[in-house]
Chains A and B, each alone.
Chain A
Amino acid sequence: MDRTISYVEAVREATDQEMERDASVILFGLDVDDPKAIQGTTRGLAQKYGPERVFGTPLSEDAMTGVAIGMSLAGLRPIHVHIRMDFLMLAMNQLINIAAKSRYMYGGQVHLPLVVRSMIGKSWGQGAQHSQALHSFFMHVPGLKVAAPTTPYDAKGCLIEAIRDDDPVMYVEHRILHFQKGPVPEPTYTVPPGKARITVKGKDVTLVGISYMQVECLRAQRYLESGGIQAEVIDPIWLSPLDGETIAESVRKTGRLCVVDNGWMTCGAAAEIVAQVTERLQGAREVRVRRMGFAPVTCPPTPSLENLFYPNARTIASAAYDLVKGSAQGWLPEERTDLREIEFRGPF
Chain B
Amino acid sequence: MHDRFYRSLYRIRRVEEEIIRVYPTDKIKSPVHLSIGQEAVSVGVCEALRADDVVFGSYRSHAVYLAKGGDLKKMIAELYGKATGCAKGKAGSMHLVDAAHGVMGASAVVGTTIPHAAGYAYALKLRRKDSVVVSFFGDGGADEGVFYESLNFAALKKLPMIFICENNSYAIHTHQLCRQPTANIAERARVFGVPAERIEDDVLRVHERVGAAVKALRAGEPGPFFFECLTYRWKEHVGPNDDFHLGYRTREEADPWMKNDQVKRLAGLLEADQRRRIESEVEAEIQAAFAFAEESPFPDGSELFTDMFK
Contacts and interface: CB of A to CB of B under 8 A. Distances in A.
Interface of A: 30-31, 34-36, 56-60, 62-63, 86-87, 89-90, 123-130, 295-298, 300-305, 308-309
A345 B89 CA distance: 38
Q: What is the predominant secondary structure among interface residues of chain B facing chain A?
A: loop
Nearest to B176: A58
A297 B94 contact: no
Contact of A295 (B85, B178, B305): B305
Given A58-B179, A129-B107, A301-B91, A34 B29 contact: no
Interface of B: 29-31, 81-82, 85, 88-95, 107-111, 140-141, 143-145, 171-174, 178-180, 246-248, 298-299, 301, 303-305, 308
Given A34-B172, A59-B171, A129-B109, A297 B89 contact: no
A126 B93 CA distance: 10
Contacts of B92: 125, 127, 301-302
Given A63-B145, A302-B90, A35 B81 contact: no
A128 B304 contact: no
Contacts of B173: 31, 34-36
Contacts of B179: 56-59
Contacts, number: 121
Nearest to B30: A125
Contact of A304 (B30, B89, B145, B174): B89
Contact of B304 (A31, A87, A124, A297): A297
Contacts of B303: 300, 305
Contacts of A36: 173, 246
A36 B174 CA distance: 11
A65 B257 CA distance: 36
Nearest 9 A-B pairs (CB), nearest first?
A302-B89, A302-B81, A125-B30, A301-B92, A304-B298, A59-B143, A58-B143, A34-B173, A58-B179
A5 B107 CA distance: 36
**Most B CB atoms within 10 A — which of A58, A60, A301?**
A301
Nearest to A300: B90
Given A58-B143, A301-B90, A127 B308 contact: no
Contacts of B308: 296-298
A220 to B, nearest CB: 21
B109 A86 contact: yes
B30 A124 contact: yes
Contacts of A63: 145
Given A56-B174, A129-B108, A301-B94, 11 more contacts: A34-B172, A35-B246, A58-B143, A58-B180, A62-B145, A89-B109, A124-B30, A300-B90, A302-B29, A304-B89, A305-B304
B136 to A, nearest CB: 16
Contacts of B82: 302
21 contacts: A30-B172, A35-B247, A36-B173, A56-B174, A125-B30, A125-B81, A126-B31, A127-B91, A127-B108, A128-B90, A130-B94, A130-B108, A295-B304, A297-B304, A301-B89, A301-B92, A302-B299, A304-B81, A304-B89, A304-B301, A305-B303
Given A31-B172, A56-B178, A59-B143, A128 B305 contact: no
A4 to B, nearest CB: 28
Contacts of A57: 179
Nearest to A57: B179
B305 A297 contact: yes
A59 B110 contact: yes
Contacts of A301: 29-30, 81, 89-92, 94
Contacts of A130: 31, 94, 108
B50 to A, nearest CB: 30
Contact of B299 (A123, A127, A305): A305
A60 B144 contact: yes
Nearest to B92: A301
